[in-house]
Every structure is written in structure tokens, then in C-alpha cells.
Amino acid sequence: MLIHINQERRQFHLTNGQVSYIFHVMKNGHLGHLYYGKALRHREDFSHLQTYDVPTGATTHIYADDPAFGLETLRQEYPAYGNSDFREPAFSVNKLTENHIPDFSYQSYQLLEGKPRLEGLPATYTEDNAEASTLQIILKDEFLHAELSLTYTIFRDKPVITRSASLKNIGTEELMIDRFMGASLDLPDKDFMMVHLAGTWSRERHVKERMLEMGIQSISSLRGASSHHHNPFLALKRPEATEHTGEVYGFNFIYSSNFLMQVEVDHYDTARLMVGIHPFRFKWNVKPQSSFQSPEVVMVFSDQGLNGMSQAFHRLYRDHLIQTQWKKAVRPILINNWEATYFDFNEEKMVNIAKSASELGIELLVLDDGWFGKRNDDTSSLGDWHVDLNKLPNGLESLANKIMETGMKFGLWFEPEMISPNSELFREHPEWAVGVPGQHYTLGRNQLVLDFSRQDIVDYLYDKMSAIIKETNLAYIKWDMNRNMTEAFSQKLEVQQQGEFFHRYILGVYQLYERLTSEFPRVLFESCAGGGGRFDPGMMYYAPQAWTSDDTDAIERLKIQYGTSFAYPLYSMGSHVSAIPNHQTLRKAPLETRANTAYFGTFGYELDPLKLTEEERKEIKDQVAFYKEHRNLIRDGQFYRLLSPFANNETAWMVVSEDRSEALVGWYKVLATPNPKKHQTLRLSGLDESKAYQVAGTEQTYYGDELMIVGLMLPTEFNGVNGGNFERGGDFQSQVFYLKGTENIVN
């Protein structure tokens, strides 16, 4: 049993032996929070876990005869504002005509096996009811004639609980929501480091940390996308927790638009965490007999450090978020022509690239931006989804066939959500662009955004894209999105409904994804937003891989991929080997290092194979063969971060197979050290202590405990005088070690 319910005391305990989440109904009928963390033994009564003490000082209390009962000091599940809690609330809702302080009281609960889907929204799912249990709590506000439903799902074999909320208007008058979080969590203390992922274009998801302090600390996006700048991920870790040990709570929001994740620390040092749609500019009119559903919040608890937290996210997304057909599918090694040609290509060039790449063992060719309309640079044609016959005179179908004749699959780039002012579509339908009529339209990369809150526009894109998928027998689509939203206004919505725009827009995007992925389940989607500007679990539900960053520099990618791995599995990260000097940093990392970084993701190339030397071609052939040999391990294995690029000149990480019989270790050193230390080792993780592992390419075997306690010996480094006797040296060096378990110790 995953959910214990004490009906008499009205207490709820969700536990799977790894985590416990406990709450109850308080005397005012609201839900009070009791505990969240490492699993507790179940008992009949947990009410003593609620601190219940008469507060000193200027505090408020609800009942004349009970000065200890004030919402300012009680931990709650989904707090409101207005009657004695002065912190920011989880929600705010009212009638349009009369004022009222929300007062939702417990009505009933419902217990479900498995997990219901969220209508129109990406969310985790179960395939078998035994994988999870769900508890829905219904609360009611008699004055508003509204039902608030809080949904909690606990997964059987993972330290994961998901939450969401919905509000149903059961009356006859319209209601207006202007704040509606997916989850709120009151923690009893503030002794946490807040860890989050921040950056910008070409340096996304760098790891940031700060201690919680009294006041509000938050990360957010108001860009109409989850953004390059803040990822909808946040962790609270105990200060002493490391990658390998200690307590960490991780939160991820399954949403791709404006979000808010905040922690409010009050004067008693309690910490209130909140995750949801950003309330700024958000308003939702809930018509009688209709509902509003929040997106889902994923909550992970780990007592095995940050790696434990990440592994739980990775497993959850592999088993319960990524679409079924991609869970175990082999992701093709692809070559993308963007950095090879930019807009300057034609059929002959593409076919030659395909032939040359196919000889190297590469499996899929992606034709990136510039194949449609008259797009020779980024100033035109978005929206004109018909082939440019100047570049591809025989059409797309012919190109696709020629590519497939080389033995490669064919993939295509789209940016469906955009419209160029210089396009046939804009000339025909200027009102399809997002913007306030009569006001200036701000450009981003010379383009405007299509109003995806409109059904007719979503339908139009569906028709265009599905026709091309059929015509070309597409195996893959890169769905790009290269600007954030300004003048967010839909010409189809009433003025008083414009607060719904951002959310309606992303629902339109989700709908198009849903229709295309269900109609064409064999097409692999890779999401992209100027690189990693929408790398979030909402997108991952439809597109199992995402272009991690436009920055393909292997050294910068150490930071980006390290940070991304906090929440997202390796095989969701598009990672490619590109040419040098690198187009984003001008850095010249060796080809070996470029591949050694890119292996830890969904591997590919972003260069012109026709410009390679024979020696480079040989090396790339070997890289492709190496990845093919190990890609199942990279897809299914447990990932461990070992050395952080944010703290060290060295980075290291590894993947261990579930049965711990093999592992792949990546080690990287950014700058060379003169006269380096003699004894250089790398301590590994996750191995079987009693198994002997052979390091591929050497005769050396180590036992698992040696590798984890003493470490893997790193090959001899150049020290200025060891002439021909060194195995590595120089800047940007790296090595990937494959360890194969050979035998168990016989005692």
C-alpha cells in the first residue's frame, strides 16, 4: 500500500519506503502539512508533527479560544492569503462581482491506482496501475461555488511524488483566478542551499548555489518560454550535502512557458517553496461548469546527495515521461548541416554530405534552417513552409529519396511558431502575428511569433507539417523556436482575457506536438529554442531529445551538460562534435576531446564531412563505432557526476550499467599543469565493490572497491622532461575509459 488514510483523524501518509509525505485536515477545514522527506514508519497518528504553539509578538489567530491556531505559523498544503497567513499564497481566486477571502474546506478524497493524465498538458504517466498510486483531495468554497482538487501521485519504486491542482467552477457565476501554483510546500527550517540552473544563450544551465535567507528568493521566466536564463528546476540541499551524500529535495516543473519557483523564508525561519505558472500577467476566467488545471510539479527527495536526486529524475523521465516508443529505441547518430553550410546549400551539396557521412557510419542527416520560402539569411520566410526550388530544384521528396539512397535517414528543421514580416504568410495574414494592433511590434532575430493561442493557426501548421512528413517520409524533426515573446496579445481574445494569452499559447504548442507525435509516432522530435532556451520536461514529454545548446564547444559543453544533468537524462541531450575553431568560442579543442564530451548525450556531428582530412575521417569512423557500441549503456545506465567543472580544472562523470557489469567514464582537464603531481587518480562511483573491472585497451584490472576508494590511475601526463614517455598533455585533454566487469572476488 502506497497511501495510508486515517479517516477518523483525516490524515494522509504517502510512502513507498523511500519517501514519506504526510498531511492532515486542520480544525478550520484547510489542509495542514506535517512532513516530507525520508520514509517514516507508518503510525496511527502523526498530528504531533504539527508544531502547535502560542506564538509571541504581534500574531493573529482565528479562534478566540485558541490563540495557537494561526495560519501564519502553521504549515499548510495549499495556502490562501487573507486570513492570518501573510506569506505569498499558492492561489488567488474570486468572483468578478463580489469580494471574498478564499476559504476552501476539506470535503472528500479519492484514491486511484496508477495516475490519471492531465488533459492538454504534458505530465508523467503510468503504463501499469501498479507503478503508482494517486490521491485526490477535494476542498470546497461554499461562497465561490468552487472545488479545489489537489492531486498527489507517489511512484512505487522511485523517491518521487508529483503534484498538481485544479479548480472547478460548480456555480453559475464566472470566477477569476490570478494565481494558481502547481504545488506549495512548507518546510520547517531554512537550513538549505538553493541550487538552480541559470545562464543565457550559449551558456545555459550553469549551476548556481546560495544559502536561503529570510525573504523571498526566486527564479522565473516571463519570456513565454521556460528560457535560457532560468530552468524550471530548483533543489534545496542541506549545506553539507555533496554529489554523493546528504539530503536534497529536487523540484522540476513540467511546463514550457512563464514559471515561478520561489522560496519564502519567514521570521521563524520556515521555508515555503512554491512552483507554478508565473502569476504576473496571468489571469484565467473559469466559466461555470468548467475547470482550470495547473501543470504538474515533480518532487524528488534524495538522501544520497545530488547524484541520488538526479538519478531519480532521470529514471522517472525515462520510465514515465518520455513517450513509450522512445524509451528503449536506439537514437540515430545524426549529422546536422547548420554549422557546415548555414543557409548556403543546394541539393548536390546535401547529397554529398549525406554520402560522405554515411561512409563514416552516421545514420541520419538533418537539413537545418533555410530549405523553404526564399530564406538565404534570417530576415525572411518563416511561415512559408514550401520548398525553395532555387536551392532544391527537384523538391523535398527527391532530396529525401536521394539521402535515403545513401543509407541515411532524413530529418528536417522547422520553426513552426514563427512568422517573418517578410513572408508570404505575413502579407496574407498580418493578424496572425502576436502583437498589440496599432503598437510597434518588437522583433527578435528579425521575426515575429505566430499566435498559437488560436486554433486556426495550430490547424494550419498541423496541415503544413503533416503534409511534409508524409511527402518526405521524415524520420526526425528539429522543432526550433528562436525568440521570446513581446507585446503578448492575441487578436482573437477579448481584452479581459489577455491574461490567458501565455498559457493558451503554450497549450497550442502542446496540442500541435500531441497531434503530430500521435499521428507520426515514428518521427523522432528534437526540441530546440536557439539551443537550450526551452529545455524542460514539458518539451521532453513530446520530444525525447533537445538541442542542449547552440554552443558546441567541448569545453563549454562540460558546464552545460553537467548542469543539465541535474534534472535531465543524458539521452535527452543533443550533443555534437563540431569543427574548430569552434563557431561560438573560437576554441580549438582536439577532435578526441570534442567526441569525449559529446558521447555523454545523444551523439552527432555538426560539421562538413567533405572538409575533413583522411586522418580525421578515420578518427570519426572510430568515434561513431565506439558510440554505437556503448549507446545502450549511455541510454540506460546510471549517471554519476564526479568532478564539477564549476569548481575544478578537471571535470569527470560516468555511466554505470544497472547490473554494474560495465561503465563508461569521462575525464577532462581544461588547462595543462606544468610539472603536474605524480599520483593522479580519479575516484569512481556506483560500481560493484567485489567485481573486477578491466580497463579497455589495457591489461589492467581493478576491483570495484579500489576504483571507488583509491581511484582509477590516470595515464602519465607530460611534465616537461618526460620526452616520449607521456600519454597525455596540453590544454583540453580528456580521456574516456570503458570498464568491463570480468569476475567477482571469490572469498
Residues that bind ligand DGJ (CB under 6 A): 338, 368-369, 413, 480, 482, 528, 530-531, 547, 550
Instruction: Give the helix/strand (H/E) hosting 276.
Output: strand 271-277
Give 212 or 365: the residue with its C-beta nearer to ligand DGJ. 365
To the query of whether residue 378 is one of the catalytic residues in this protein, the response is no
d(CA 18, CA 38): 6
Give 583 or 691: the residue with its C-beta nearer to ligand DGJ. 583
Give 480 or 553: the residue with its C-beta nearer to ligand DGJ. 480
Least distance in angstroms from the C-beta of 531 to ligand DGJ:
4
Residue with cell 480544525: 27
Give 15 or 527: the residue with its C-beta nearer to ligand DGJ. 527
Give 284 or 413: the residue with its C-beta nearer to ligand DGJ. 413
Least distance in angstroms from the C-beta of 406 to ligand DGJ:
22
| Catalytic-labelled residue, pool 319, 368, 369, 550 | 550
Give 201 or 441: the residue with its C-beta nearer to ligand DGJ. 201
Cβ atoms of 642 and 683 within 8 Å: the answer is: yes
d(CA 532, CA 534): 6
Give 336 or 638: the residue with its C-beta nearer to ligand DGJ. 336
Single-letter amino acid, residue 80: A
Cβ atoms of 284 and 503 within 8 Å: the answer is: yes
Grid coordinates representing 9 are 483523524
Phi and psi at 724, nearest 5°, equal -80, 5
Cβ atoms of 280 and 262 within 8 Å: the answer is: no
To the query of whether residue 480 is one of the catalytic residues in this protein, the response is yes
d(CA 274, CA 165): 12
Cβ atoms of 369 and 480 within 8 Å: the answer is: yes
Q: Which residues, including other chains, have CB under 8 Å from residue 500's CB and lie 6 or more apart?
A: 282, 283, 284, 285, 453, 493
3-state secondary structure 92-137: EEEECCCCCCCCCEEEEEEEEECCCCCCCCCCCCCCCHHHEEEEEE
Grid coordinates representing 658 are 544497472
| Catalytic-labelled residue, pool 480, 551, 553, 688 | 480
Paired residues of 136 in beta bridges? 110, 151
| CA distances in angstroms from 503 to 6, 142, 279, 349, listed in the order given | 38, 28, 11, 42
Buried b vs exposed e over 551-567: b needs ≥16 C-beta within 10 Å?
bbbbbbbbbbbbbbbbb
Give 89 or 530: the residue with its C-beta nearer to ligand DGJ. 530
Characterize the bridge pairing of strands 248-253 and 409-414: unpaired
Give counts: helices (H), strands (E), the chain: 13, 38
Least distance in angstroms from the C-beta of 380 to ligand DGJ:
12
d(CA 634, CA 654): 9
Give 396 or 652: the residue with its C-beta nearer to ligand DGJ. 396
Cβ of 678: how many Cβ atoms within 10 Å? 8
Cβ atoms of 101 and 62 within 8 Å: the answer is: no
Least distance in angstroms from the C-beta of 104 to ligand DGJ:
44
Least distance in angstroms from the C-beta of 342 to ligand DGJ:
8
Cβ atoms of 148 and 79 within 8 Å: the answer is: no
Least distance in angstroms from the C-beta of 203 to ligand DGJ:
14
DSSP string spanning 557-609? HHHHHHHHTTTS-GGGEEEEEE-SS-TTT-----HHHHHHHHTSSEEEEES-G
Least distance in angstroms from the C-beta of 420 to ligand DGJ:
12
Residue nearest ligand DGJ (C-beta atom) = 369
Least distance in angstroms from the C-beta of 446 to ligand DGJ:
11
Least distance in angstroms from the C-beta of 478 to ligand DGJ:
6
Largest CA-CA distance found in the chain, in angstroms, rounded: 87
Give 192 or 385: the residue with its C-beta nearer to ligand DGJ. 385
Grid coordinates representing 330 are 536506439
Least distance in angstroms from the C-beta of 368 to ligand DGJ:
5
Residues designated catalytic: 480, 550
